[in-house]
Amino acid sequence: MSKRKYVKQPLSEWMKGEGPDSDVVISSRVRIARNIRSMPFPMMAEPQQSQSVMEQLLDVAESGRLNGLGQLERIRLSDLTELEKLVLVEKHLISPNLANESRNGALILSPNEAISIMINEEDHLRIQCLCSGFQIRQAWDWASKIDDIFEEQVDYAFDEKHGYLTSCPTNVGTGIRASVMMHLPALVITGQINRILSAVTQVGLAVRGLYGEGSEAAGNLFQVSNQITLGQSEQEIIENLHQVARQMIEHEKAARTKLLSESRPRVEDRIRRSFGILTQAMIMDSKEASQRLSDIRLGVHLGLIDDVKDQTLNELLVSTQPGFLQQTYGEALSPEQRDMTRAELIRSRLATGS
């Protein structure tokens, strides 16, 4: 399997919209940060040290100990172009940090792209598992098993008092970041979102946009994740997020029911206006595309729009991003050209509905 597969096709396993509560939860993710004892963190490592880390961790994958994950692809970041790295960021397969600091960086990917193992990112090892829909426990189960395999072969940096040692102090302890990507348009439209998010932050969770820290919640997509990694067990972190996310799902579904019962004409008008614009517009910037695609997604789940699949909408989340547009058209595009090709792509996909 070639690395080109991962940068040429926008659809990953987590985008299929087939998981539990996928009408609200786009994906569930668990990421585990680990470092090798007696080796400097990546930002402080000399080239030969980071090279040694990369080879040591790639050896684990090449040894066959991860064979249960399928035919893994091992990719050295130095073999990728800047555009290819941007596409992998847009697909959530690598972090912006790894894309920007790719000296002796590497990536191990499962065939369905649900498992992404990053080497020499902010930490020596970042194990990421992505599931479609609300499956945070399943994502944790996969990540934990992979972590156990590496720990059998690698001497992790661990302190009896503080737990796993990481480059960023906020990850010290369990080293776990668990998150769910949620589509919450009804809570936004009904004006409940600020109250809900305020309550979420008060129980130790963080809320970010589609691409994590520093990104805005475009298209009514909110990434809810744990803030605390020290002082709680792995299971407590996962269960706390699971319980809060479950309540948010129920609030969103209740808000959708309220919209249909109390404001159906106005909501349907909004959704159909967005559908009309997306199927006719010649120019579409990313911000407007995100918002109008959010309206379409809401319309699909309210039963107001037929013949558009979740998979299509999830795929458009990636395929309309700047890197993927340029990858698809095989050339560098100016902002205006990207807006034109984005509009063309959306028109085409919504016309077929698949």
Residue-wise pLDDT for 241-251, tens only, equals: 999 999 999 99
Q: CB–CB of 297/183 below 8 Å?
A: yes
Cα separation, 24 vs 257, whole angstroms:
13
Q: What is the CA radius of gyration of the chain?
A: 21
User: Which is it for the CA torsion 113, 325, 312, 30, positive or negative?
Assistant: positive
Most confident listed range (19-33, 89-103, 324-338): 19-33
pTM of the model: 0.91
The pLDDT of residue 1: 45
Cα separation, 283 vs 72, whole angstroms:
39
The pLDDT of residue 3: 60
Angle subtended by helix axes 322-329 and 310-319, to nearest 10: 90
Q: List binding-site positions.
A: 27-31, 92, 126, 177-181, 208-213
Q: How far is CA 314 from CA 52, 304, 322, in A?
A: 38, 18, 16
Residues in Cβ contact with 322 at an 8 Å cutoff, skipping those fewer than 6 apart: 86, 90, 286, 333, 338
Given a cut of 80, is residue 153 above it in pLDDT?
Answer: yes
The pLDDT of residue 351: 85
Cα separation, 23 vs 25, whole angstroms:
6
Q: List binding-site positions for ATP.
A: 27-31, 92, 126, 177-181, 208-213
Q: CB–CB of 159/165 below 8 Å?
A: yes
User: What are the boundaries of each domain within the chain?
Assistant: 4-182, 259-352
The pLDDT of residue 276: 96
Cα separation, 151 vs 36, whole angstroms:
10
Considering the domain delimited by 4-182, tell me its CATH architecture.
2-Layer Sandwich (3.30)
Q: Averaged over 46-73, what is the pLDDT? A: 87
